[in-house]
Structure 1
Amino acid sequence: MRKALASRLAKPRKRPVRITPRMEPYNKTVDKWLRADLEARCKQRHTARRIGTRLEEEFGVALPYTTVRDFVTARRRAMAEEDGTPAEGYLTRHNAPGADADVDFGSSGSTWPASG
């Protein structure tokens, strides 16, 4: 309670570092596929689902989707940091509480009954 009262801002949560032992034998292979995707067109790149399917076809191993997805996400972020490109594709808005507001008063196609 004292810690909460001492600071306005909450401390960021610590995320545990998790390893994926089932994915470990295929890390280098998937890493090669993701590096090759950097040169490919957007529509030709691997998705996490496609990587899971390809691992099953080529190696006969059926890994859970979440395991593959988490590994692919982490590797793509790490490769973006290595290249010096931003990993995130959005801007964070910093609005002061009570100072900024967004209001939408509707449009011409609103469902409010017309007055008059």
Structure 2
Amino acid sequence: MQFAPHLRALTLVSACLAASTAFAAPNAVVSQEVWAGPEPVVVGQPLTRAEVQADWELWQQAGLDAYVQGDRSFANDPSYEARLAQYQQSRKGTAYTALVQRLQAQAQ
């Protein structure tokens, strides 16, 4: 029993250390990478302003901009697939290229 006082002191120190660690953890600084993940990697050439504007205009023409407003969910809307197909077709076709060229000409 001659180690009993030391054992009690060691137990008390261990408990205090555990408690201080538990309270300090929520206040610790966490890097953005932990919260948001790694920074996205750009593949290929960056888009021009005209390309971004043309893409957004085609998105709006297809009616897809309504899905990011309010409570409207694409999961419950049967017309979503048709609108998405319209957007994708426009984006792949000549409408996108023509729109980009028109926007580039307007910017000059």
Q: TM-score, normalised by structure 2?
A: 0.25
Relative contact order higher in (CA < 8 Å, ≥ 6 apart): 2
Mark the structure with the bigger radius of gyration.
Answer: 2
Which is helix-richer, 1 or 2? 2
Q: TM-score, normalised by structure 1?
A: 0.24
